[in-house]
Amino acid sequence: MHRETDKMMEVPDDVLHEVLEAERELFAAQRRYRKKPYPTNNDIIDAIREALKRGYGMHPDDFPYQVLEVLELRGFEVRHVTIKRIWRLYETLVRKGVIPDYLGVVVREE
């Protein structure tokens, strides 16, 4: 029985080289796949500004989806970016005076 195992362990060099090369290519392909990064608040703010430039006069209901589209085009994973987060950042930018209220949705408190 020991001799059968020894015979199975004897693999021709060309076959061994072929198998090792195939494994190397397989693992290299797996390493190339990278997860898309999640956007930070600054990334979302940049996307808000770009969406506002693109869609002058857009309806406020379409605005968050435009921001998500911009983020996707930039290569971000938008699965966990909520509409509420986009609106919170937009409102913060308007209240701080960084951007004017292009969409007319922020109510000013007096």
What residues make up the domain containing 14? 2-32
Which amino acid would we find at residue 45? Answer: I
Residue-level pLDDT at 87: 95
Residues 66 and 83 in one domain: yes
DSSP code string of 26-64? HHHHHHH--PPPPP-HHHHHHHHHHHHHHTTT--TTTHH
Tens digits of residue pLDDT in 60-92 = 899 999 999 999 999 999 998 999 999 999 999
Most confident of 8-17, 54-63, 97-106: 97-106
Q: What is the pLDDT of residues 41-57, one digit of tens each?
A: 999 999 999 999 987 77
Compute the average pLDDT of residues 21-25: 81
Q: Are 81 and 52 within one domain?
A: yes
Domain check: are 28 and 45 in the same one? no
Supply the pTM of this predicted model: 0.67
Inside any domain, residue 110: no
